[in-house]
Amino acid sequence: MKIIIVGCGKVGYSLVEQLSLENHDITVVDIKEDNVRFITDSLDAMGVIGNGTSYQTLTEAGIRQADLLIAVTNSDEQNLLCCVIAKKAGNCKTIARVRNPIYNTELEFLRKELGIAMIINPELASASSIARIFQFPGASKIDTFAKGRIEMLHFRVTADCKLNNYKLLHIRTTLKCEVLACTVSRGEEIIIPRGDFVFCEGDIVSIVATPANAHTFFKKIGINIGHIHTAMIVGGSTIAYYLARRLLSAGVSTKIVESNPARCEQLSELLPEATIIYGDGTDQNLLLQEGIDNVQGFAALTDLDEENILLSLYAKKVSKAKVVTKVNRTSFNTVLEDLKLDSIIYPRTLTAESIIKYARSMNNSLHINVENLYKLEDGRVEALEFLIKEEDPKITNIPLMDLPIKKNILVCCINRQNSIIIPGGQDVLQPGDSVVVVMTGERLQDISDILMN
C-alpha cells in the first residue's frame, strides 16, 4: 500500500521503522526539514517538507494515490484537520493521533463525523496496559484477544516457581490447567515448545488462557495473583492521569509525585481522590517519606527513560511492589532485559501495533479480518487474532492435524460463540471463529498464510 505519515517525531519515526518492514510505499511529511531528512536518510521512505494540513503539500506527497494517511504531529487539532483534508483530497483511509484528555469522551463522535478510520490515543493505551498488569502482578505483560475473553500473559520462571525444571505436558496432565504455552524466550532463542519441553529458571514464557484459567494456573505454580491496593506513580504525565483514573475507579489508593507545581494543581483538580505530591521524584528521601517501601504497585512515568529505569531499580530494591517502567526508546532492549525489570511499557510500540493491525486488515481478503496484532520479543514473534467471516475450503472445517501448517506456527486458541477452545488435533476452524495464532519468523497477512504452499 501507499502510506503517507504526517509528523516526523519519535512516533512518526517508529511507524516508518515498523511499516517499512511490511513492504509498504511510505512518504513522510513534516514542516521541519531536519526531521524529514533524518527519517529519509536512515529508513526506507520518501520525504516532503511542508505543512500536512496544506492541500498542496498533501498533493505533492501523493494523496490522490494514497491508500492510508496517518497524522501524528504534536497537535491533536492539526492531526484531525489533516485527516479531513486528506479524505476530501484523496478519499483514502485516515488515522489520527489524539492525545488530549479533553477529547477522550468524544473520540467516537469525532471518528464518525469526520470520517476517520481510527483515532489512536497512545497514552490511554499505555495506561490501560499498566492497569491490567497491576490487576495481575504475576505477569510482566498482558495482551488481550476476543474482547478480553482471552489473555496472553508473559512471565519469568523463577527459582522457586513450580515450572522450574518442569515438563510442559505436565501442565495438562498433572496440574490440570487449561492453558497453552505459546512461546519461551531463553537468552537469544525463541522457542514454540512441544510437550517434552522442560522449563528453566530465567525463561520468559507466554501462555494463552481465559482470565479465570490463567488465575488458577498462576496460583498452582506459585506466582503472585493478588490485585494491588496501593500505588505510587512518579511523573504527572498524561499517561499518569489516565492510569490514576483507572486505579482510583478500581479502589486503588494512588499517589502521584510531580515536580511541576502547575501540573500538580491541574492533577489535584482532575483527580481529587488521588494524593498529589509536589517534589522531585528522584529524591530517595522523599520517596521513602511517602512510603515507597510499602506500596504494592509502582510506575515510573517521567519523560526521561534514564530516570524511569533508575527509579524502577530503586523501587525493586526497597520494596516488594510490582514495578512498571515507561521507556520511549526501543534501541536498548537487550540491555534492559539484563536488568530484569518487572514490566516495560513502550507507548510508541503500542501505537505502531495498532496501525499495523489496521494496515494488514486493509490488505486482507474480504472474508477474513485481523482483529488484533501484537509484536513480541523485539518483533521476532507475532501474535495475531483473525476473525473468519466466511467459509474458506483451504482452512475451514478441516481438522487441524490434517492442515499443512508451517513450522513455528501455533494455532493456540479459538473463540467460538464466546466459548473458548484450547485446540487439539481434531478441532476445526469454522466461519464466525476468532482464532489466535502465534508465529516466529513469519509475517501473516491472512489466516490461510499459516499453510505451506
Percent helix, strand and coil across the chain, each to the nearest 5? 35, 25, 35
**Which of the listed residues 93, 120, 147 is the one where a domain comes to its end?**
120
Check residue 146 and give its pLDDT. Answer: 86
Check residue 333 and give its pLDDT. Answer: 67
pLDDT tens-digit profile of 50-89?
999 999 999 999 999 999 999 999 999 999 999 999 999 9
Q: Where are the alpha helices (DSSP H) in 25-182?
A: 33-42, 55-61, 76-90, 107-114, 122-135, 170-173
Check residue 362 and give its pLDDT. Answer: 76
Check residue 168 and give its pLDDT. Answer: 93
**DSSP labels, 217-250:** HHHHHT---PPPSEEEEES--HHHHHHHHHHHHT
Q: Per the domain annotation, does 355 fall within a domain?
A: no
Same domain, 10 and 103: yes
Quote the mean pLDDT of the chain: 90
Q: What angle do CA 57, 59, 358 make, to 5 degrees?
A: 100
Q: Per the domain annotation, does 353 fall within a domain?
A: no
**Which of the listed residues 221, 253, 282 is the one where a domain comes to its end?**
221
Residue 123 pLDDT > 70: yes
Helix H or strand E segment including 215: helix 211-221
Q: Which of 18-27, 257-266, 353-362, 392-401 has the lowest mean pLDDT?
A: 353-362
Same domain, 88 and 10: yes
Of the pLDDT bands very low, low, confident and very high (cuts 50, 70, 90), residue 2 is very high
Same domain, 176 and 241: no
The pTM is what?
A: 0.85
> What backbone phi and psi angles, to 5 degrees, belong to 191?
-125, 135
Check residue 366 and give its pLDDT. Answer: 46
Same domain, 308 and 392: no
Q: How far apart are CA 446 and CA 453, in angstroms?
A: 14
Residue 290 pLDDT > 90: yes
Write the CA distances from 136 to 140, 142, 234, 426, integer angstroms. 9, 9, 21, 33
Check residue 368 and give its pLDDT. Answer: 55
Same domain, 84 and 161: no
Report the share of the chain in percent with pLDDT over 90.
64
Check residue 259 and give its pLDDT. Answer: 95
Q: How far apart are CA 362 and CA 359, in angstroms?
A: 5
Same domain, 213 and 257: no
Report how far Cα 302 is from the mean position of its chain's Cα atoms: 19
Higher pLDDT among residues 106 and 444, named by residue: 106
pLDDT tens-digit profile of 388-407?
888 888 899 999 999 999 88
Residue 408 sits in a domain of what CATH number?
3.30.70.1450
Q: Which position has the grid cell 536512515?
A: 42
Query: What's the whole-number mean pLDDT along residues 218-225?
Result: 87
Same domain, 306 and 261: yes
pLDDT tens-digit profile of 355-372?
887 877 776 554 557 788
Same domain, 13 and 80: yes
Same domain, 333 and 377: no
Q: Per the domain annotation, does 431 fall within a domain?
A: yes
390 CB neighbour count, 10 Å cutoff: 11
Q: Which domain holds residue 147?
A: 127-221
Q: Per the domain annotation, does 356 fall within a domain?
A: no
> What backbone phi and psi angles, to 5 degrees, belong to 225?
-125, 0
Residue 129 pLDDT > 60: yes
Residue 242 sits in a domain of what CATH number?
3.40.50.720
Q: How far apart are CA 131 and CA 144, in angstroms?
A: 13
Q: Per the domain annotation, does 27 fall within a domain?
A: yes
Check residue 334 and give its pLDDT. Answer: 65
Query: What's the whole-number mean pLDDT along residues 117-144?
Result: 91
Q: Per the domain annotation, does 371 fall within a domain?
A: yes
Same domain, 306 and 412: no
pLDDT tens-digit profile of 151-179?
999 999 999 999 999 999 999 889 999 89
**Which of the listed residues 298, 319, 345 is the one where a domain comes to its end?**
345
pLDDT tens-digit profile of 26-49?
999 999 999 999 999 999 999 999
Q: Per the domain annotation, does 312 fall within a domain?
A: yes
Query: What's the whole-number mean pLDDT along residues 220-230?
Result: 87
Q: Which amino acid is residue 327, in one-letter code?
A: V
Same domain, 256 and 275: yes
Check residue 446 and give its pLDDT. Answer: 79
The count of structural domains within the chain is 4
Check residue 102 and give its pLDDT. Answer: 87
Q: Per the domain annotation, does 187 fall within a domain?
A: yes
Same domain, 147 and 204: yes
Q: Which of 106-115, 250-259, 272-281, 368-377 has the lowest mean pLDDT?
A: 368-377
